[in-house]
Amino acid sequence: MKNQDCELLVDYLEGSMAPEERDKFEAHLLACADCREVIEMTGDLPYLAEMTAPPAEMKGRILSAVFADEDETGTTPEETIVLNRQDGTTERPVQRSWTKYGLAAALVLSLLGNGYAFLALNGGEAVQEEEIRSVALEPAGAFNGAGEASIIEGEDGELTLAVETSELESLSGEQVYQVWLIADGDPMPAGYLSPAEGGESTAYFTFGENLDSWDTVAITLEPRYGNELPEGEVVLSAPL
């Protein structure tokens, strides 16, 4: 029953065998129930892992990477965000490529679907609200961070912008991340993000019953709270 080949089980599980050796061992497996059963048993071992909750945005990231190959169109249109700013410049285009964003956003939309309902905390009370749109925020330049912006319709028909971010670069001094809704270049302050350890932060901003004029959501890195117009650079953004 036990033979020399059984000794190779450990090498086989190490996954470092040369292909011909592996073929030979797989032939042994057909004949040796003992080795076969040990390998089958290893199929239960992953259940010993303690449950670790996956990050919320991981699914979007992974599936867009998986499907990325065939979605590549070969064209990378450069688009700009037009943003009227505090420093007097009426326009300050931010050069960026939307290709990657388009993919991720389309995917997030398809994943969440229209009927995606979730519980939002509202005055300490959980109420059912409906997400009507969700886009992935794309980092500008070399900025480290990721996020997702969603438009949620409450029971009263009011729309709330929810911005969830992860892995944002940490802040120094009075710096703060500020959320903006932008309509044709004109920004409106739409909340703040103060990432804790790990860079996660969420902002909610209720803005009315109509989405039509808001075309972009952007996050800037501001030197302080309370700016009515952006002073700092755009770090994350997405068209709505």
Q: Which residues bind another protein (CB under 8 A)?
A: 6-7, 9-10, 13-16, 34, 37-55, 58-59, 61-63, 65-67, 111
Closer residue to another protein (CB): 86 or 144: 144
Nearest-5° Cα angle at 207, 89 to 235: 45
Q: Among the candidate windows 24-32, 53-61, 118-126, 193-201, which touches Zn ion by CB under 5 A? A: 24-32
Dist. CA 234–CA 232, nearest whole Å: 7
Alpha-helix residue ranges (DSSP H) falling in 2-143: 9-14, 19-31, 33-42, 58-71, 99-112
Q: To the nearest whole angstrom, how small is the minimum distance from the Cβ of residue 94 to another protein?
A: 28
Among another protein, Zn ion, none, what binds residue 32 when CB lies within 5 to 8 Å by partner kind? Zn ion
Structure tokens that stand for 161 in this block? 């912008």
Q: Among the candidate windows 3-11, 77-85, 149-157, 171-179, which touches Zn ion by CB under 5 A? A: 3-11
Nearest-5° Cα angle at 186, 109 to 235: 60
Dist. CA 83–CA 103, nearest whole Å: 24
Q: To the nearest whole angstrom, how small is the minimum distance from the Cβ of residue 8 to Zn ion?
A: 8
32 binds Zn ion (CB under 5 A): yes
Encoded one letter per residue, x for contact with Zn ion by CB under 5 A and - for no contact, window 33-72 reads: --x-------------------------------------
Number of amino acids touching Zn ion (CB under 5 A) = 3
Q: To the nearest whole angstrom, how small is the minimum distance from the Cβ of residue 236 to another protein?
A: 19
6 binds Zn ion (CB under 5 A): yes
**DSSP, residue by residue, 156-207:** TS-EEEEEEEESPPPP-TT-EEEEEEEETTEEEEEEEE---TTS-EEEEEEE
* Site of interaction with Zn ion (CB under 5 A): 6, 32, 35
